[in-house]
Structure 1
């Protein structure tokens, strides 16, 4: 059996075992890198671990550490209340505020923006009798709309990977295509569901509560811990966007300053670091480097090219990405597919920017699935009395996205290719 085929079989086993037994696929990636690299390619540890992405590791740790402060001390809730006051307490606009907040947070590096905003959004919807399924969908689509900004975890991961493989990234296309795509879907969801009563929690009846902070009439007072955190978030955004400083080093530096100001808060925030995501990405990329050394990437790409119709090959990749992503990590499948498609992209048969943007859409538009990270975080915040019905609605919507999402995303890849051709 060839080394290339062994690598593909091991990759498939990683997805199956990781999904079936709920094991972090990054851990499996490290084991696979050692097994394939050491036993099949006869590499030394320093060789099969050479693909460990040190810079991306720092970025992931720094971003999730910094937002751990904001999540723990209520700085995120302060931002929500500011937004409520900004719209003058108009309840009907709040689903879009939650959409925008989730988009902004994830675009700045808050990887678990859905986990931060979902409990606020769903409790608000329960109190005011707003369709909770509609609000939940807007939160997830907001996260997907902002997920691929140049300073987000997703955006940094993809753009850096393309650059390291000699391809020219298109960060603006990668950001705008998913943003527009998900905004359109959110508008459709809002028009279809906004006047429907939706699911009501038995515990509170979802009756509107007059008064309260949601009407924009309360005074917002910042605590001693929230002020430096908010300043830190602003400093992070400005330093990265305006001065192009390394986001990993910037966020770690700001986090250390905040920890020096309040050591107890620093320890609590460190527990919020998304170690599972850090391990997932670093482990998968470490194994991908072994795949490249084994020649598997070129081997698979040759098979894709053999289809003869580049855009048809892209369509098949998008549907594969969407279906697998509905059951596993979007980041993992994006990393694998881009790695396999690198020689395919180098051939010039498809537009690199359009292909990558379309892949980003196809692999994430299904994230409302309760088996995906965002979907699971949303379902976890639904009131127990309606969770079963909410789950069934999520399954239905995820199935619809699996059916039409990759096909619509394919248009994003096809249009620039046809125009440039």
Structure 2
């Protein structure tokens, strides 16, 4: 059997086995990758090239820093003070996070650093307020995605250039409008699924006067500000910055290194990186081409936009939206539009949206950071089982893609894209 097809089947098998038998999906994927390598004679270096060192550094660095900040009580107190600002309307916290995510992204930094920052703000705030942290982080990141095509972002610059190379007008505002509509509908569905209006009443709001921050906690907050500013405005690597600030805080006596290292969610990191190794096998063996070719074979005038949206989303499961999906598919928009009689701008819009909203999978940085952040919370394994969270984050990506596909098929985007 074709390696690409069998590797896709084994990925699905790993997810199912992990959920049913409560095994780490990433370790299963590494085992399957080795088996495929032996059977099909793949070089070990090829298989291990799927190990993302940059993702490893980012996940470990950011969770290391926040383990230090959490360990000295800074995050808890900061979250309690922020929750106090909402008063008794705790169910509104997710919507506040949506607005915050949109604002952070749209002012210029773009989605890549913003998607890493928003969950680490949203999760502790949600936990302290008795609101579901997974839902809150997802909605916050939907806000980030909504602002991705702001004319100020680097992602918008890439898309504009790709459009102009085809003779199209490089205006991304209609695409941003389409993205916002998709994100808002997805947000409503996520809010309904998690019953966001229900708040854990056992988590009492702090009515008494909260204590002031200590000197060490102020240093920790300063470190957090440096992280946010550095990542958003100076393009510092979030992981390396996390290690640097964490080291400085330890030298200043603001944390315990052993406790911080022990608090890093290694099981989640193994899951994410292990799946990435099997994903690399899928990519090298043509598994992505199998899926895309199957979709293109059934593309017609009525279904072209919908199929392109799905193709972009599925490709984004295996590769970077900005680095692979956009430059690969956007250049085909004009040709397909002319041959099929559809709008080239609509095709570009669904490619951008599909390559963005599918980013909640745990094998992406967005989904991985949500899993890592939630896993650091108290009693996380009991309250938010990893395998269930793994499936739910995949489900959010598919729900967003379903919304996109339905809107594309119904011609909704054509109402405001011209």
Shorter-chain TM range is 0.5 to 0.7
2:15 corresponding residue in structure 1: 15
SS of structure 1 residue aligned to 2:260: helix
**Is 2:270 aligned against 1:288?**
no
Q: Is the 8 A contact 1:37 1:48 kept in 2?
A: yes
Which residue is 2:70 aligned to? 71
CA spacing shift, 1:28–1:317, aligned 2, 3 Å: farther
After superposition, what is the alpha-carbon deviation per residue over 1:187-212, rounded to whole angstroms, capped at 9, x for unaligned?
89999x99x9x6886xx7x9xx8xx8
Alignment counterpart, residue 408 of structure 1, candidates 400, 403, 406: 403
Corresponding residue SS for 1:66: helix
Say yes or no: does 1:313 pair with 2:307.
yes
Q: CA–CA distance in 1 between the matches of 2:181 and 2:128?
A: 25
Q: Structure 2 vs 1, CA of residues 412 and 145 (structure 1 numbering), >3 Å: closer, same or farther?
A: farther
**Alpha carbons of structure 1 residues 118 and 333: separation in structure 2 relative to 1, 3 Å:** farther
The answer to whether residue 350 in structure 2 is matched with residue 354 in structure 1 is: yes
CA drift at 1:287: 2.1
Q: 2 CA distance for matches of 1:20 and 1:175?
A: 39
Equivalent position SS for 1:91: coil
Q: In 1, Cα distance between the equivalents of 2:232 and 2:2?
A: 46
1:276 Cα deviation after fit: 3.0
Q: Verify: 1:36 aligned to 2:33, yes or no.
A: no
Q: TM-score, length-normalised on structure 2?
A: 0.63
Q: In the alignment, is the contact (CA less than 8 A) between 1:305 and 1:313 conserved in 2?
A: yes
Contact 1:67 1:110 survives alignment (8 Å)? no
Larger mean CA deviation between 101-110 and 224-233 belongs to 101-110
Cα distance change of structure 1 residues 243 and 296 upon mapping to structure 2, 3 Å threshold? same
Correspondence 1:218 to 2:209: yes
Q: Is the 8 A contact 1:98 1:121 kept in 2?
A: no
In the TM superposition, residue 33 of structure 1 has moved relative to its aligned partner by 2.6
How far the C-alpha of 1:221 sits from its partner, in A, is 0.8
Alignment match, 2:128? 120
Superposed counterparts of 1:8-407, under 5 Å:
8-40=8-40, 42-84=41-83, 86=85, 90-92=87-89, 94-97=90-93, 99-100=95-96, 107-109=115-117, 111=119, 116-122=124-130, 139=136, 142-146=139-143, 148=145, 213-214=206-207, 218-262=209-253, 265-309=256-300, 310-314=304-308, 334-335=317-318, 347-348=332-333, 351=347, 354-358=350-354, 360-361=356-357, 364=360, 406-407=401-402
Q: CA, structure 1 residues 418+249, in 2 after alignment: closer, same or farther (shift >3 Å)?
A: farther
Cα distance in 1 between the residues matched to 2:179 and 2:72: 31
> What displacement does 1:238 show?
0.9
Distance in 1 between residues matched to 2:66 and 2:172, nearest whole Å? 23
Q: Offset of 1:254 from its aligned partner? A: 1.0
Q: 1:347 to 1:380 in 2, by over 3 A?
A: farther
Q: Distance in 1 between matches of 2:266 and 2:175?
A: 26
Aligned equivalents of 1:60, 1:171: Cα separation in 2: 31
**Contact kept in structure 2, 1:173 and 1:354, CA below 8 Å:** no
Matched residue pairs, number?
A: 354
1:90-144 CA distances to partner (integer Å, 9 max, x unpaired)? 423x43346535966984436566653343112xxxxxxxxx7xx7797355444
Whole-Å Cα distance in 2 between the matches of residues 78 and 137 of structure 1? 20
User: How many angstroms apart in 2 are the aligned matches of 1:188 and 1:17?
Assistant: 28
Distance in 2 between the 1:267 and 1:175 partners?
Answer: 45
By how many angstroms is 1:250 displaced? Answer: 1.4
How many Å separate the matches in 2 of 1:11 and 1:100? Answer: 36
**356-365 vs 289-298, which moves further:** 356-365
Q: Deviations over 1:226-254 (max 9, x none)?
A: 12211111001111211112222212211
2-structure distance, mates of 1:54, 1:246: 13
- In structure 2, the CA distance between the partners of 1:232 and 1:306, relative to structure 1 (3 Å rule), is same
CA distance in 2, matches of 1:137, 1:278: 17
Alignment partner of 1:271: what SS?
Answer: helix
Structure 1 residues 291, 60: CA separation in 2 closer, same or farther (over 3 Å shift)?
Answer: same
- 8 Å CA contact 2:216–2:254 kept in 1: the answer is no
3-state SS in 2 of match to 1:225: helix
Unaligned runs of 5+ in 1: 123-131, 152-158, 322-331, 366-371, 388-396
Tell me the TM-score normalized by structure 1.
0.62
Taking only aligned residues, the RMSD between alpha carbons, in angstroms, comes to: 5.4
For 1:20-75, what per-residue CA distance to the aligned partner results, in whole angstroms no more than 9, with x for missing partners? 223222222222332223421x2322222122211121111111111222322222
SS of residue matched to 1:228: helix
